Amino acid sequence: MKQINAVQLKEWLDEVKAGKRAPPVLLDVREPWEFDAARIPGAKLVPMRAIPARYMELQRDAEVVVICHHGARSYQVGLFLEHQGFDNVINLYGGMAAWSRDADPNTPTY
């Protein structure tokens, strides 16, 4: 599975804002309380436990960046999606903790 670090994702999202690149689907698989504490703008919350019932909501040909707190749950969800036939799944390495530390220090930590 492909992985992206927080700085690379921030650069990608900056390119989206500038009209230079298509946006990814930001799939946040944390729990609702985590999502309420900190999130990347535009992320869609689908808790990990709900993925088997809701993955059909995602377009198979979209670039999907999977997000969790540290990158482990998102990696597992990414593997699941790949097994369901998704070809463009990318794990946010280090998760929201890395995002807060490396890409957007204004994002709260928890």
Question: Residue 79 — very low, low, confident or very high, per pLDDT cuts 50/70/90?
Answer: very high
13 part of the active site: no
The catalytically annotated residue of 68, 89, 96, 98 is 68
The residue extents of the domains of the chain are: 2-103
| 20-57 confidence digits (pLDDT tens) | 999 999 999 999 999 999 999 999 999 999 999 999 99
- Residues contacting residue 13 through CB under 8 Å, at least 6 positions apart: 23, 40, 42
Strands (DSSP E) contained in the chain are 2-4, 25-28, 44-45, 64-67, 89-92
* Fold of the CATH domain 2-103: Oxidized Rhodanese; domain 1 (3.40.250)
Q: What is the pTM of this model?
A: 0.97
Token pair 């990608």 is at which residue? Answer: 12
How many angstroms separate the CA atoms of 56 and 107, rounded?
Answer: 30
How many angstroms separate the CA atoms of 35 and 30, rounded?
Answer: 6
Cα within 13 Å of Cα(67), Cβ side? 29
